[in-house]
C-alpha cells in the first residue's frame, strides 16, 4: 500500500505535448503556440513591472485584470475569474462542481486534460463520440450531468460548433455547461455574450494562443456572478502573479496586435490546407491555429517520427480514431513552407 490515494496511484496522469529543451533545433508545431511574438506593449510592461514591488503579493483577485477584461468584453468584474492558464480554471471548476460519483459528460476526441481532472475528483466520465464531421452529438444533453464540457473550437479537430447550437445546449441542460474557448479568437462567434442569459454557462478563454503568452499562464473564466463567487472560494489565494496580471492587461490594451497575428495565421492556415489537400490529406475545417490532417486508414506514427527526424515536431495521438491523423500547429509562412517541402518529398507513403 502506497501513501497516495488509490485513484492517484492508479492513474497515468496528463501528458502534455513535448517541450524540447532546445527550441532552436525544431520547427515546433506540436502544442499550438503562436509563432509570432507578444505585443511590444506586453514586453515593455513586463520590463517596467520588474522592480521592488515583486516582494509584495499580487492582488489576490487580479482585480485590475478583471476590470480591464470586463470593459473589453462588455461585462462586470463579478462575471470574471482570472486563472493561471485556462488549465487552472478547468481544475478549479472540476474541484468546485465534482465530487466522488458525480457525472461529467463531453464529446470525444477532445482535450484529454478533462479526463485527468475528473479522475482526480473520482467523478464519473461519460463520453460521447463525435460523428465523422465533428458536429455536436445529439446524445450530449440527454444525461443529467453536473458538468458538460465542450471545447469550441475543439482540439484536436479544430472544428467549431455554431453558437446557436451552444445556446440550445445551455437552455436544455440542467447542470453546468463549460465551453472551453481556448482557441476562440481564431473562430467566428464567441459564446461569451450568452452568460448574460444563462446562469449555468461558463466560458473559458486562454492568453496562450491568440495573445502569444503561453509562457506566462493566463486564462479567464466568464460566468454568472454566483458561479464566479463559488469558484473564487476554490482558487489558490494568489493564483496569478504580478507579472502575468500586468502582461494580460497590456495584451488587452493592444488587441490590434493580436488580431493582426490572427489574420496572418488564418491566411497561412488557408494556404497549408490547400497544399495538404493537394498531397492527398483530408484536412478538417479548422477555426483554430492548428489543423488536423488525415490520410484515411494509414497509421501516421511513422510520418510523425520521420518529420521529427527532419526537425519538425507535430502531434500524433494514440487513440485509435486519431492514428491516421497528425495535428499541425500553424507556424510562420516560412515554417509551413518547410513542412510542405518535406511532405512533398515523403508522400505518398
DSSP states of 255-290? HHHHHHHHHHHHHHHHHHHHHHHHTT-EE---SSSE
Which residues have a Cβ under 8 Å from the Cβ of 97 and sit 6 or more positions away?
146, 147, 176
x/- letters, 303..322, toward ligand PLP (CB under 6 A): --------------------
In the set 119, 180, 185, 224, which binds ligand PLP (CB under 6 A)?
A: 180
Q: Which stretch binds ligand PLP (CB under 6 A): 83-91, 140-148, 262-270, 319-327?
A: 83-91
Site for ligand PLP contains 190 (CB under 6 A)? no
In the set 86, 148, 200, 289, which binds ligand PLP (CB under 6 A)?
A: 86
At closest approach, how far in Å is the CB of 49 from ligand PLP? 20
CA angle 53, 217, 14 (to 5 degrees): 140
Of residues 244 and 273, the one with the C-beta less far from ligand PLP: 244
Site for ligand PLP contains 107 (CB under 6 A)? no
User: 219 to 278, contacts with ligand PLP by CB under 6 A?
Assistant: 219
Which residues have a Cβ under 8 Å from the Cβ of 281 and sit 6 or more positions away?
293, 294, 295
Site for ligand PLP contains 166 (CB under 6 A)? no
- Beta strands 325-329 and 312-313, pairing class: unpaired
How much is the CA Rg of the chain, to the nearest whole Å?
20
Of residues 107 and 219, the one with the C-beta less far from ligand PLP: 219
Of residues 92 and 227, the one with the C-beta less far from ligand PLP: 92
Site for ligand PLP contains 151 (CB under 6 A)? yes
Site for ligand PLP contains 155 (CB under 6 A)? yes
Cell numbers at 2, concatenated: 502506497
Could you tell me how many residues of this chain bind ligand PLP (CB under 6 A)? 13
In the set 157, 208, 286, 289, which binds ligand PLP (CB under 6 A)?
A: 208
3-class secondary structure, 208: coil
Q: Which residue of this chain has its Cβ atom nearest to ligand PLP in the complex?
A: 85
In the set 85, 107, 158, 331, which binds ligand PLP (CB under 6 A)?
A: 85
x/- letters, 1..40, toward ligand PLP (CB under 6 A): -------------------------------x--------
Long-range contacts, stretch 90-95, CB < 8 angstroms, 24+ apart: 90/114, 90/117, 90/178, 90/180, 90/204, 91/117, 92/221, 92/231, 92/234, 92/235, 93/147, 93/178, 93/202, 93/221, 93/231, 94/118, 94/120, 94/121, 94/123, 94/147, 95/121, 95/234
Closest CA to 216 of 38, 40, 92, 30: 38
In the set 34, 87, 227, 281, which binds ligand PLP (CB under 6 A)?
A: 87
Applying CB under 6 A, the residues found at the interface with ligand PLP are 32, 85-87, 111, 151, 155, 180, 182, 206, 208, 214, 219
Amino acid at each position: 500500500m502506497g501513501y497516495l490515494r488509490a485513484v492517484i496511484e492508479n492513474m497515468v496522469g496528463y501528458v502534455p505535448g513535448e517541450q524540447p529543451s532546445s527550441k532552436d533545433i525544431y520547427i515546433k508545431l506540436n502544442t499550438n503556440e503562436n509563432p509570432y511574438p507578444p505585443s511590444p506593449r506586453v514586453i515593455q510592461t513586463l520590463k517596467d513591472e520588474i522592480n521592488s514591488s515583486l516582494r509584495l503579493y499580487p492582488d489576490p483577485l487580479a482585480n485590475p485584470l478583471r476590470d480591464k477584461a470586463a470593459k473589453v468584453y462588455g461585462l462586470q468584474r463579478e462575471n470574471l475569474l482570472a486563472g493561471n492558464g485556462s488549465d487552472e480554471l478547468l481544475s478549479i471548476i472540476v474541484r468546485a462542481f465534482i465530487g466522488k460519483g458525480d457525472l461529467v459528460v463531453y464529446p470525444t476526441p477532445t482535450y484529454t486534460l478533462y479526463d485527468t481532472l475528473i479522475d482526480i475528483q473520482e467523478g464519473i466520465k461519460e463520453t460521447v463520440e463525435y460523428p465523422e464531421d465533428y458536429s455536436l452529438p445529439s446524445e450530449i444533453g440527454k444525461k443529467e450531468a453536473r458538468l458538460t464540457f465542450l471545447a469550441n473550437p475543439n482540439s484536436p479537430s479544430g472544428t467549431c460548433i455554431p453558437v446557436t447550437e451552444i445556446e440550445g445546449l445551455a437552455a436544455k441542460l440542467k447542470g453546468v455547461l463549460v465551453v472551453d474557448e481556448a482557441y476562440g479568437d481564431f473562430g467566428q462567434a464567441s459564446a461569451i455574450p450568452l452568460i448574460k442569459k444563462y446562469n449555468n454557462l461558463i466560458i473559458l478563454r486562454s492568453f496562450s494562443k491568440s495573445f502569444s503568452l503561453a509562457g506566462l499562464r493566463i486564462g479567464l473564466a466568464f460566468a454568472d456572478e454566483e458561479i464566479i463567487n463559488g469558484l473564487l472560494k476554490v482558487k489558490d489565494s494568489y493564483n496569478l502573479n504580478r507579472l502575468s496580471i500586468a502582461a494580460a492587461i497590456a495584451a488587452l490594451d493592444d488587441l490590434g496586435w493580436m488580431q493582426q497575428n490572427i489574420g496572418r495565421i488564418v491566411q497561412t492556415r488557408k494556404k497549408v490546407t490547400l497544399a495538404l489537400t493537394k498531397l492527398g490529406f483530408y484536412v478538417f475545417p479548422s477555426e483554430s491555429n492548428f489543423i488536423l490532417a488525415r490520410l484515411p486508414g494509414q497509421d501516421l506514427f511513422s510520418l510523425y517520427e520521420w518529420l521529427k527526424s527532419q526537425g519538425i515536431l507535430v502531434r500524433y495521438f494514440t487513440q485509435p480514431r486519431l492514428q491516421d491523423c497528425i495535428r499541425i500547429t500553424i507556424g510562420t509562412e516560412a515554417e509551413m513552407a518547410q513542412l510542405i517541402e518535406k511532405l512533398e518529398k515523403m508522400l505518398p507513403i
